[in-house]
Structure 1
Amino acid sequence: MLFLGVDVGGTKTQAVLSDEQGNVLAVHRGKGANYQVVGKESAVRNLKDVIEGILNKAGKTREEIDFAFFGYAGADFDYEMKIVREILEKLGLEKFDFDNDGRTALRSGVFDDIGIMVSCGTGSISYASDGRRVNRIGGLSFSLGERLGSHYIASLVTSAVMRAKDGRDDWTTLVEEVEKEIGPVENLLRYDYEGGYTAELVKRVNQALFRCAEKGDAVSLRIFDEIVVEVKKIIDAHRKALNFTPPIKLILEGSFFKNAPSLLINMIESAVGKEYEVTIPEHDPVIGAVLFAMERSGLRVTEDLYNRLVRNYLREVKK
């Protein structure tokens, strides 16, 4: 049997082709295919390119795929789900399904699909499952309650720098570290008119935050505290909605958590307590799409199969 898992984002799309034993036949990365970012026509074209690319690598055809599953960024509401389905129907796949990419990130993090996933990447989203029900929190915007995401956190940093410079708030070593990375923060004003900070700028600002927090800067540590408090609020909300039996797996996903210093992760572990097993997966969320493809075709995912798939995937991407 052959399974295709695809993680669809705005800037990149990642695909994995696997058999029922968890052997990874090919991994392929292509352009982003979130229609909200690239448009519907480009989304179809980019997805076709990704599928063609991975099939060529594996020496397989579309007809040999038993099931394909897509974790799709931007698949949030019914009208968006309809658009995504229309896009996927144009790819020539006989059997496929999809869900929000946050859902596949949760599935990727645990073999039995029971746990809580908090993602802090460009934006943020959280999914949880107790094995019977699934709960979603966030994934929308700052104006609709988001208090995580690398862009949002970078804005906390640059705000702290500006307020320290003009005397409204406490002085912080972030001033020197951030401006060493990106120049005077006042120059960022132009990004407010050009559609927001760039990904590279956000990355450099947050790296300065990491360095200052590790050196004990009080303002940086307060920002870390805000992150920890938000993570705790998210998991507490999931606990109210679902029924978990400790120990509960807490999966921290996204580029911010994966690049964060151990100091922040230790702070989160301390805040959530011993009921939680905190993990930061080394593998990518696309594995969740492969697992869903397997399950949709009737295959039962055991812990051994899960571990073998993850191990083979990591071996493939490290080549």
Structure 2
Amino acid sequence: MTDYFLGVDVGATKTHALITDAEGNLLGKGTAGGGNPTMTSYELFGRVVAAATWQALAQARITMPQISAAGFGVAGYDWPSQRGLTLAALDLLELTAPCDLVNDAVLGLLANARRGWGISLVAGTGCNCWGRNQHGQMGHMTGAGNILGEYAGGSELIARALHRVAYAWTGREGPTALSDAFIAAAGAQDLEDLVAGLTINRYVLDASHAPLIFDCAAQGDAAALELLHWAGDELGVMVITVARQIGVQQAAPDVVLIGGLFKGTPSLQDLVEASVRPQMPGVTFVSMQAPPVIGAVILAMERARRPAHAIRQALLALQTQAPVTF
């Protein structure tokens, strides 16, 4: 009898499902919209996961009872108290096989860390950090952003950059190239119009404008450079904190970098590394090569007590030969 494994990566903007056999061969995949239940609802989360999963099942030409185990990485799934609601929303799948749930940030770690453990650091629209040690112990930040004092996602970077622009207008600080960049992006007439428009929501600048900060920093703007150094320090503190939680400061962990901010120039990775390496000299920074949904399949196989290391290597080898695309 062939074993089949289902992995699902549920993000804020998209959901991916993948089905493989025990050797890691890709059999079916599906995609749907965002399903973070804390941003929408658990009902919508369940429907989104079902839509992506049913596509994958149809492509694999199997039925749900044939699934041997499933793994789900869910954006917004941060606390044990959410487990019951999350599993209840998955009842729509009529899944009878064992399954496991993790925060979606963990999937990038499972798919890309060379030994299957280490730390995942997310810097995209928001920021987050999760870790897993050699014994399976998990550690994490709150994932609540500036509400609970965790900074350096795109949203926080833009907020800090707007402070600097406002300081330039009031004269609290000197001019910054960020002002002209944001005036152009917002379509404002000048700096005063921009500042006034921001106060009454006539203009809105959000995380999607974070690349402008990198552009200004690349031109040598002092305020923009200071913002990126601040972001590197904040993200570095997250890595060190989670490493301390799971006891891997001196164990040479991989740190998997996830999110669009790590693609910018100047390199945010270099700034994070400068913050982390003095306290964790053996750390290795790893870029995302395999998509997170591969980590969801690995989670499913671990739930079925398959030899994780061999499976991971097989999946990554197949990913190299024929990358999973959606």
Same fold (TM over 0.5): yes
Any residues of structure 2 matched to 1:47-126 within 5 Å, and which?
Answer: 47-95=49-97, 96-126=99-129
Tell me the percent identity. Answer: 26
Give the alignment partner of residue 37 of structure 2, picking from 35, 38, 45. 35
Q: 1:64 to 1:188 in 2, by over 3 A?
A: farther
Give the alignment partner of residue 310 of structure 1, picking from 303, 306, 316. 316
**1:294 has 2:301 as partner:** yes
Whole-Å Cα distance in 1 between the matches of residues 41 and 147 of structure 2? 24
Paired position in structure 1 for 2:168: 164
Q: 1:197 to 1:280 in 2, by over 3 A?
A: farther
**1:249 has 2:254 as partner:** yes
Measured after TM superposition, the shift of residue 246 of structure 1 is 4.1
5+ residue gaps, structure 2, are 189-193
Bigger shift: residues 129-138 or 237-246: 237-246
5+ residue gaps, structure 1, are none
Any residues of structure 2 matched to 1:190-205 within 5 Å, and which?
Answer: 190-191=200-201, 201-203=206-208, 205=209
Contact 1:76–1:100 (8 Å) recurs in 2: yes
Paired position in structure 2 for 1:45: 47
Measured after TM superposition, the shift of residue 287 of structure 1 is 1.8
SS in 2 for 1:128: strand
Normalised TM-score (structure 1) = 0.88
Contact 2:25–2:318 (8 Å) recurs in 1: yes
SS in 2 for 1:138: coil
SS in 1 for 2:161: helix
Q: 1:162 to 1:308 in 2, by over 3 A?
A: farther
SS in 2 for 1:160: helix
Q: Match for 2:43: what amino acid?
A: E
Whole-Å Cα distance in 1 between the matches of residues 102 and 128 of structure 2? 14
Normalised TM-score (structure 2) = 0.86
SS in 2 for 1:35: coil
Give a deviation string over 1:180-230, Cα, whole Å, max 9, x none: 2222343334559xxx967xx422x21111111112211111011111111
**1:134 has 2:134 as partner:** no
Whole-Å Cα distance in 2 between the matches of residues 197 and 176 of structure 1? 15
The aligned length equals: 311
Q: 1:134 to 1:165 in 2, by over 3 A?
A: same
Bigger shift: residues 183-192 or 76-85: 183-192
Any residues of structure 2 matched to 1:182-261 within 5 Å, and which?
Answer: 182-184=186-188, 185-186=194-195, 187-191=197-201, 201-203=206-208, 205-244=209-248, 245-257=250-262, 259-261=263-265
Q: Match for 1:277: what amino acid?
A: T
Q: 1:69 to 1:55 in 2, by over 3 A?
A: same
Contact 1:124–1:138 (8 Å) recurs in 2: no
Paired position in structure 2 for 1:8: 10
Give the alignment partner of residue 274 of structure 2, picking from 263, 267, 270. 270
Runs of 4+ in 1 over 4 A off after TM superposition: none
Q: Match for 1:183: what amino acid?
A: G
Whole-Å Cα distance in 1 between the matches of residues 266 and 27 of structure 2? 34
Contact 1:118–1:253 (8 Å) recurs in 2: yes
Whole-Å Cα distance in 2 between the matches of residues 162 and 54 of structure 1? 49
Measured after TM superposition, the shift of residue 144 of structure 1 is 1.0
Contact 2:261–2:268 (8 Å) recurs in 1: no
Give a deviation string over 1:105-137, Cα, whole Å, max 9, x none: 332231433212211122221112221222112
Whole-Å Cα distance in 2 between the matches of residues 84 and 93 of structure 1? 13
